[in-house]
Amino acid sequence: MTIFGLKAMLRTAMTATVLGAAWPAAADDLHAKLEYCLTCHGTAGQGYRAYYTMPRLAGQQPKYIENQLRAFVERRRTNPIMANVAHGLSPSMFGALAEHFHALTPPPLGGAPRGQLGLGKHIFDEGLPESNVPACAACHGADAHGQDEIPRLAGQLHDYLTSKLANWTRERGQDRARPDISAIMVPTTHNLTHEQIAAVAAYVSTLK
């Protein structure tokens, strides 16, 4: 199926409401949405490494997933494919998908360069005070599992995370009239060099 066919399928996704409240996601509808998600994010939500790397969703914090889906809908986060995906989902489906992926526990895909793991661990655990970079663990937790709207980093594909951090302000917080939690990362991403970003991404990709 072409990408145009996939987009057309997404546009027909049902958004059922009664008195303004969404119906709970039906099992067959959830299964259909998951089949589509897994074509990009992997059979167990483990992510997919290719020319365009797809992120790991397995084990991700449900509130974070729901928040990002809303960000795509509201154009606070830019991604043409995910904007179409999110627009085809009902609010109840946001929660159902988020809980499904949160429950998955595949091992990390691995494959990150190992030469900078020591630097990555240092930045994650202690930050870089001289560069005004706080420890990643302060928000994401010592195990990098995140909490609520703060995302899990453990096991995330290193090349995906490197790209997102390096291009943070080009993709996140795009509606200045409605700033969101992504704003907290702007100073940190600005103060990290590309080498330091790659080191942190490599380190957290090894965590389970």
Q: How far apart are CA 154 and CA 105, in angstroms?
A: 11
User: For residue 93, what pLDDT is reported?
Assistant: 94
Q: Vertex 65, ends 59 and 69: CA angle to 5°?
A: 155
Q: Are residues 76 and 150 in the same domain?
A: no
- Confidence (pLDDT) at 132: 97
Q: How far apart are the first and last CA of the chain?
A: 34
Whether the per-residue pLDDT at 18 is higher than 90: the answer is: no
Report the range of poorest mean pLDDT among 8-12, 77-81, 144-148, 197-201. 8-12
> Do 68 and 124 fall within a single domain?
no
Domain holding 90, by residue range, is 3-102
Residue 111 counted as domain residue: no
- Residue 108 forms part of a structural domain: no
pLDDT tens for 89-116 read 998 999 999 999 999 999 999 999 999 9
132 and 96 within one domain: no
Identify the bridge partners of residue 54 per DSSP, sorted by sequence position.
48
Q: What is the pLDDT of residue 74?
A: 94
Tell me: do 14 and 87 sit in the same domain.
yes
Assess whether 167 and 123 both reside in one domain: yes
Tokens for 163, please give them.
């790209």
The stretch 63-81 carries a mean pLDDT of: 95
pLDDT score of 26: 65
Q: What pLDDT, on a 0 to 100 scale, did the predictor assign at position 188?
A: 97
- Domain CATH code at residue 69: 1.10.760.10
Q: Are residues 93 and 20 in the same domain?
A: yes
Of 42, 73, 102, the position where a domain reaches its end is 102
Indicate whether 93 and 131 sit together in one domain: no
Same domain assignment for residues 151 and 71: no
* Contact by Cβ (8 Å): 145, 154: yes
Domain boundary pick from 102, 132, 166: 102
Structural contact between residues 200 and 150, judged by C-beta atoms closer than 8 angstroms: no
**48 backbone dihedrals φ, ψ, rounded to 5°:** -145, 125
In a domain, 194, yes or no: yes
User: Does residue 110 lie within any of the structural domains?
Assistant: no
Q: Under a CB-based contact definition with an 8 Å cutoff, are residues 103 and 182 in contact?
A: no
* Structural domains in the chain (count): 2
The residue written with tokens 């897994």 in the block is: 38
pTM for the whole structure? 0.85
Asked, for residue 16, whether it belongs to a domain, the answer is: yes
- The answer to whether 161 and 152 have CB atoms below 8 angstroms apart is no
Same domain, 127 and 73: no
Do 64 and 132 have their domain in common? no
Residue 49 half-sphere exposure toward CB, CA atoms < 13 A: 12
Whether residue 139 contacts residue 150, with contact meaning beta carbons closer than 8 Å, is answered with yes
Task: Look at residue 5 in the predicted model and tell me its pLDDT.
Answer: 42
